[in-house]
Amino acid sequence: VNPLGQPVDGLGEIRTSKTRPIEYPAPGVMQRKSVNEPLQTGLKAIDALVPIGRGQRELIIGDRQTGKTSLAIDTILNQKDQDMICIYVAIGQKESTVRTQVETLRQYGALDYTIVVTASASQPSPLLFLAPYAGVAMAEEFMYEGKHVLIVYDDLSKQAVAYRELSLLLRRPPGREAYPGDVFYLHSRLLERSAKVSDELGGGSITALPFIETQAGDISAYIATNVISITDGQIFLKDDLFNSGIRPAIDAGSSVSRVGGSAQIK
């Protein structure tokens, strides 16, 4: 589907009477539960060193061409028969790339439990800005029904660039790196909606894997540091590890999972 919920796979209309606001308040602190169930990615390096729990936000950060997308696709494929619904949000990618990823998901039978939300590079910036919120609105519908959801945002740097473009066109005062002053809130209100909710609300969860693309391994850039501070840990992928044939190219020293330890299978 596109960020407006319209199908783009050519398989006809989606018949439904349900609607949901794209912007919705995140669950409060009393409506949450601590993360205690593991999410198995199927990648030993992650499940052993930086374990991810259901309801966690784990940032995947690295340069372009370091295997971020394939890490997410592998994780989605590993959720087969795990009672998880996966949502893959492709922001500002080439349509041919998205088509390849959808074909991979179809080949392994992952489209039975996966929604793909796509706003390609050729579409106007408001759609790129809306895509992650559309994805998380769909995820919330399942979460409040007591289901477990994995949502992948690929990637949030492109959403920030689209938002910067919109803000500059609207003559809003630019700040650091020409981003508007509320670019932190852009991502914080999105990622705070991923949570493990209490049993009274159904006990569902949204696990978020946001992506940030760095320039020459600089994790101290503006958007990178913003999202690192919002998430519950990060997996840092290095291009020199990737080029030397280590896949996934995880830099164990600078990767951390802040809440996954309590969810790890002992």
- Catalytically annotated residues: 258
- Percentage helix, strand, coil, to 5, in the chain? 40, 20, 45
DSSP per residue, 200-217: GGTS-EEEEEEEEE-STT
Residues ≥6 apart with Cβ < 8 Å to 151 = 86, 87, 88, 89, 135, 136, 139, 194, 206, 207, 208, 209
- Residue pair 54/41 in contact (Cβ under 8 Å)? The answer is no
Can you read off the two tokens belonging to residue 45?
């390096």
Can you read off the two tokens belonging to residue 228?
């690192």
